[in-house]
Amino acid sequence: MKGRFFAIGVGPGDPELLTLKAVRILKNADVIACPSKESGPGIAFNIAAQAVPEILDKRIIALEFPMTKKDLTQAHENAARQLINVLDSDKDIAFLTLGDPSIYSTFSYILGLIKRNGYEVEMISGVTSFTAVAAKLLISLSSKDESVMITSKEYTDVADTLVIMKAGSVLKELKAKISKTKKEMYLVENCGMEDEKIYRGIDSIPDEVGYFSIVIVTDRKEFNE
């Protein structure tokens, strides 16, 4: 009997947005794995630990992921090998990801490596950050036959509603492009965290914000009127 590997979405920031399933698996897991931040467990771990303090007493594997592509592939392979060693000792691993594991998550390459080596893997869905942002703004992203496009940094006008993840690093350019449209622009920084900031309307949005910023571009604003 080998250990099992669970990739768990812990939601966008508010510990209460963990699912019952995530809580159950975190309580039962032998080992917690998570991306690291300055050699310690990162933001996903901090969110999970607020909802399930028991994980503070478990073995924690904090994985470092460098930013350059070549180093990253090597880091993924090292991480997978490290995790497989744990699975071979009959331990279940809960790997924590911010938001939902299928949306811009760092774990996908690792999960592929582990699955191809014959281990049992399961993805546990979490609340994705952009629907949490819509909830904060009290807006709908889509109704009836409307479409939603989710992109990383890029602006496009092919959908009724556009969600731009990681908008912080290109915000000035985004504002210039969106100001030429008739759409409304919203931004939420650090959604669900203590330093959350909500901006409604392009004129209220500064040119510089933090990394965890999501922009929504839409012509729907009925809830705000």
Question: Quick one: 56 or 138, whose CB is closer to a copy of itself?
Answer: 138
Question: Quick one: 37 or 221, whose CB is closer to a copy of itself?
Answer: 221
Task: Say whether residue 1 binds a copy of itself (CB under 8 A).
Answer: no
Residues 34 and 149 sit within 8 Å (Cβ to Cβ): no
Residues 174 and 164 sit within 8 Å (Cβ to Cβ): yes
Task: Say whether residue 27 binds a copy of itself (CB under 8 A).
Answer: no
Torsion angle of alpha carbons 148, 149, 150, 155, nearest 10°? Answer: -130
Other CB atoms within a 10 A radius of the CB of residue 174 amount to 23
Task: Say whether residue 51 binds a copy of itself (CB under 8 A).
Answer: yes
Nearest to 216 by CA among 159, 169, 172, 173: 159
Task: Say whether residue 123 binds a copy of itself (CB under 8 A).
Answer: yes
148: which 2 tokens? 């939603």
Q: Least distance in Å: CB of 158 to a copy of itself? A: 5
Positions 148 through 177 that interact with a copy of itself (CB under 8 A): 148-154, 156, 158-159
Q: Least distance in Å: CB of 9 to a copy of itself? A: 8
Instruction: Write the DSSP symbol of residue 10.
Output: -
Contact string 129-148 vs a copy of itself (x = CB under 8 A): --xx-xx--xxxxxxxxxxx
